[in-house]
Amino acid sequence: MAPPLFILKDVHLTFGGTPLLEGAELTVSAGQKLALVGRNGSGKSTFLKIAAAIIEPDRGDRALQQGVTLRYLPQEPDLRGFATTGDYVVAGLTSGDDPHRASYLLQQLGLTGLEEPARLSGGEARRAALARAMAPEPDILLLDEPTNHLDLPAIEWLEGELKRSRSALVLISHDRRFLETLSDSVLWLDRGRTRLLAKGFAAFEAWRDDILELEEKERHRLDRKIAQEQDWLRYGVTARRKRNMGRLRALQGLRKERREQRRVLGQVEMTAAEGPSSGKLVIEAKGVAKSYDDRPIVQPLSLRLKKGDRLGVVGPNGAGKTTLLNLLTGALAPDAGTVRLGANVVMVTLDQKREALDPETSLQDTLTGGRGDHVFVGGQPRHVMGYMKDFLFSAEQARTPVRVLSGGERGRLMLARALAAPSNLLVLDEPTNDLDLETLDLLEELLADYEGTVLVVSHDRDFLDRVATSVLAFEGAGNWTEYAGGYSDMITQRGHGVLAREPLEARRPDKGQAAAREAAAPRRRLGFKEQHALKTLPEEIERRRREIAALEAKLADPALFAADPALFARTTEALTATHDALAEAEDRWLELEMLREELEGQA
């Protein structure tokens, strides 16, 4: 068997008196795809920096096979000293590397290579760093959260690129689908130590839960043993002190073992403070449209959001997802159409940039609004220290300014503040950013149990599959279509996932280019079946409404159930089926009418 390419052995590291790593180990073989997982704060990023020789551990061995190349993607890349992103990426190549691959990767990640580093957003800087790490096609790639700030088309492209790559991977990510697609093994970093599972991430959580269950049983057994020995110590040692000093030393050993056991970090205790019940209709949009600089963000869109619905919004970066949220919630006025919020709607919003957090305000004052030491959760006071503990913050962090919190901690703080306020409509813009897998689990459970309505923008496919009852997808040129179910259901109905937006020059061609394309490609027209459906659907809709009225009139007879229960049941079933048929006909007519208007506008 070939020797491993890379080994970390018996790594120890202590920060501020608390051991972070205690004997952690990592072995990487050629072509291996390894997921490095663990709770936020467990030391994953630090361990990866040790592997990349950026941090020196207190103790441990690091061995890289001679001639093996290794590249590392940091969470916060430094592009200082480079004139453009292209220069930065090319500087990472060696003499034998293909410079065209650098250009290809930049293009696929939405960059031209001409961007000035000083003008880049954090997301653009990370995409440039990802291109730099991948361009040499190294033997080993160490990737710390590579999907952060990527949209769905880029995430799915990156999955395919890494799956085809010959490079071995050590991958940190909170994106379940990404890990399941890529990993063939999992390294779990837990309480300073590492455990290896020689299977992909899909098998990890059941394996982890089995281990934790066994540990809890062993802890319970140890507690009972200590209790028995303490009982012996209190009542039996006086008469037999000399003969039982060995047993006493054994008890001291058990106590020491119990003290040194490191418990699993606590779990977030997450509940949403629900407000008064909203009406059945929560949001109704009719013909809503919005454009900026002649670029359509939303073409005429009609949508009804009812109580209990959980609508996911998906699309590439720049498609206008946040603008669409603002239109649907009334925060932004449309150019055309109307938006109506239902009765008793109490809305709470979580923004994706965490802009609502003041970086200089302390964690405690952020939660209390600077008013004392109590948080009002659903209108009821709770001591801020107890509420902080629910979201895994320690008492020592109460006076910590927001600016020193990690991305995951800021995400938990935003959730803590948002969920304290009473609501029956949650509007969540990228709520999963920087949350660890366990916190994501709890957020998913909370949203599944939430009796109100949820409107959520996310690039996390697994999260959408678990949470959404329908998905509103960007179709290009400002058009949006609603699909029943989660993200995977959308793909089944649509035939593909979220596509990248056209590049700017393709969206704004000069007149000569537009004329050439028109001449080269036949204009889309409504087919015969579509034209026939447009003509006949209004009549069908009216017929369904008459049928519903007749069935409702029959069920309104108070004597029907007593006289003929079977007829009552058949009539009720017929009413439900007719309502479904009416909704289907109305949706189909609206879809065809919007298509007709779009095609006529292109004529």
CATH of the domain at 484: 3.40.50.300
CA dihedral (442, 447, 451, 456) in degrees, to 10, reads: 160
3-class state of residue 247 by DSSP = helix
Tell me the CATH number at 576.
1.10.287.380
Q: Is 40 annotated as a binding residue?
A: yes
pLDDT at 270 (0 to 100): 57
Kindly state whether residues 106 and 194 are assigned to the same domain: yes
Residues 580-602: tens digit of each pLDDT: 788 788 767 767 766 776 666 55
Q: Is 113 annotated as a binding residue?
A: no
Q: Order across the sheet with 347-350: list the strands.
A: 347-350, 425-429, 453-457, 310-314, 470-476, 479-484
Kindly state whether residues 100 and 124 are assigned to the same domain: yes
Kindly state whether residues 422 and 440 are assigned to the same domain: yes
Q: Is 320 annotated as a binding residue?
A: yes
The CA R_g of the chain, rounded to the nearest whole Å, is 29
**Buried b or exposed e, range 453-462, using 16+ CB within 10 angstroms:** bbbbbbbbbb
Q: Is 16 annotated as a binding residue?
A: no
pLDDT class of 378 with cuts at 50, 70, 90: low
Q: Is 344 annotated as a binding residue?
A: no
> How far apart, in whole angstroms, are the C-alpha atoms of residue 141 and residue 288?
46
Joined tokens for residue 32: 């291996």
Q: Residue holding tokens 């503990």? A: 389
Of all helices (H) and strands (E), which one includes residue 548? helix 528-555
Q: Is 316 annotated as a binding residue?
A: yes
pLDDT at 456 (0 to 100): 92
Give percent of the chain above pLDDT 90.
34
Kindly state whether residues 202 and 216 are assigned to the same domain: no
Give Cβ neighbours of residue 200 (< 8 Å, ≥ 6 apart): 35, 179, 180, 183, 184, 185, 186
Q: Is 509 annotated as a binding residue?
A: no
Kindly state whether residues 322 and 436 are assigned to the same domain: yes
**Residue 275 located in a structural domain:** no
Kindly state whether residues 223 and 141 are assigned to the same domain: no
**Buried b or exposed e, range 192-220, using 16+ CB within 10 angstroms:** bebeebeebbeebeeebeeeeeeeeeeee
Neighbour count for residue 259 (Cβ, 10 Å): 7
Give Cβ neighbours of residue 107 (< 8 Å, ≥ 6 apart): none
pLDDT class of 128 with cuts at 50, 70, 90: very high
Kindly state whether residues 196 and 50 are assigned to the same domain: yes
Give percent of the chain above pLDDT 70.
81
Name residue 72's amino acid: Y
Q: Are strands 281-292 and 295-306 parallel, antiparallel or unpaired?
A: antiparallel
Q: Is 244 annotated as a binding residue?
A: no
Tell me the backbone φ, ψ of residue 56, rounded to 5 degrees: -95, 125
Single residue among 488, 504, 520 that ends a domain in this structure:
504
**Residue 517 located in a structural domain:** no
3-class state of residue 107 by DSSP = helix
Joined tokens for residue 560: 């029907």
Of all helices (H) and strands (E), which one includes residue 303? strand 295-306
Q: Is 578 annotated as a binding residue?
A: no
Tell me the backbone φ, ψ of residue 437, rounded to 5 degrees: -65, -40
pLDDT at 279 (0 to 100): 76
Kindly state whether residues 545 and 462 are assigned to the same domain: no
Tell me the backbone φ, ψ of residue 303, rounded to 5 degrees: -155, 140
Residue 255, domain extent? 207-260
Under 8 Å between Cβ of 288 and 299: no
**Residue 520 located in a structural domain:** no
Q: Are strands 168-172 and 374-377 parallel, antiparallel or unpaired?
A: unpaired
pLDDT at 392 over 70: yes
> How far apart, in whole angstroms, are the C-alpha atoms of residue 314 and residue 465?
12
pLDDT at 514 (0 to 100): 41
Residues 132-178: tens digit of each pLDDT: 999 999 999 999 999 887 888 889 999 999 999 999 999 999 899 99
Number of domains in the chain: 4
Kindly state whether residues 151 and 211 are assigned to the same domain: no
Kindly state whether residues 221 and 143 are assigned to the same domain: no
**Residue 173 located in a structural domain:** yes
Single residue among 504, 520, 551 that ends a domain in this structure:
504
Q: Is 42 annotated as a binding residue?
A: yes
Q: Is 395 annotated as a binding residue?
A: no
Q: Is 400 annotated as a binding residue?
A: no
> How far apart, in whole angstroms, are the C-alpha atoms of residue 442 and residue 269?
8
pLDDT at 349 over 50: yes
Kindly state whether residues 291 and 234 are assigned to the same domain: no
CB-based burial of residue 166 (10 Å sphere; 0-12 exposed, 13-18 middle, 19+ buried)? exposed
Residues 202-252: tens digit of each pLDDT: 999 899 988 888 877 877 776 676 666 666 555 554 444 444 556 555 656
**Residue 197 located in a structural domain:** yes
pLDDT class of 70 with cuts at 50, 70, 90: very high
> How far apart, in whole angstroms, are the C-alpha atoms of residue 329 and residue 319?
18
pLDDT at 330 over 80: yes
**Residue 419 located in a structural domain:** yes
Joined tokens for residue 198: 């020689």
> How far apart, in whole angstroms, are the C-alpha atoms of residue 568 and residue 554?
9
**Residue 471 located in a structural domain:** yes
Whether this prediction's pTM lies above 0.85 is answered by: no
CB-based burial of residue 237 (10 Å sphere; 0-12 exposed, 13-18 middle, 19+ buried)? middle
What mean pLDDT is predicted for residues 470-485? 92
Joined tokens for residue 272: 């949403």
Q: Is 45 annotated as a binding residue?
A: yes
Of all helices (H) and strands (E), which one includes residue 161? helix 152-164
**Buried b or exposed e, range 349-383, using 16+ CB within 10 angstroms:** bbbbebeebeeeebbbbbbbeeeeebbbbeeeebe
Under 8 Å between Cβ of 482 and 472: yes
Tell me the backbone φ, ψ of residue 480, rounded to 5 degrees: -130, 140
Q: Is 53 annotated as a binding residue?
A: no
Kindly state whether residues 495 and 561 are assigned to the same domain: no
**Residue 91 located in a structural domain:** yes
Single residue among 471, 504, 537 that ends a domain in this structure:
504
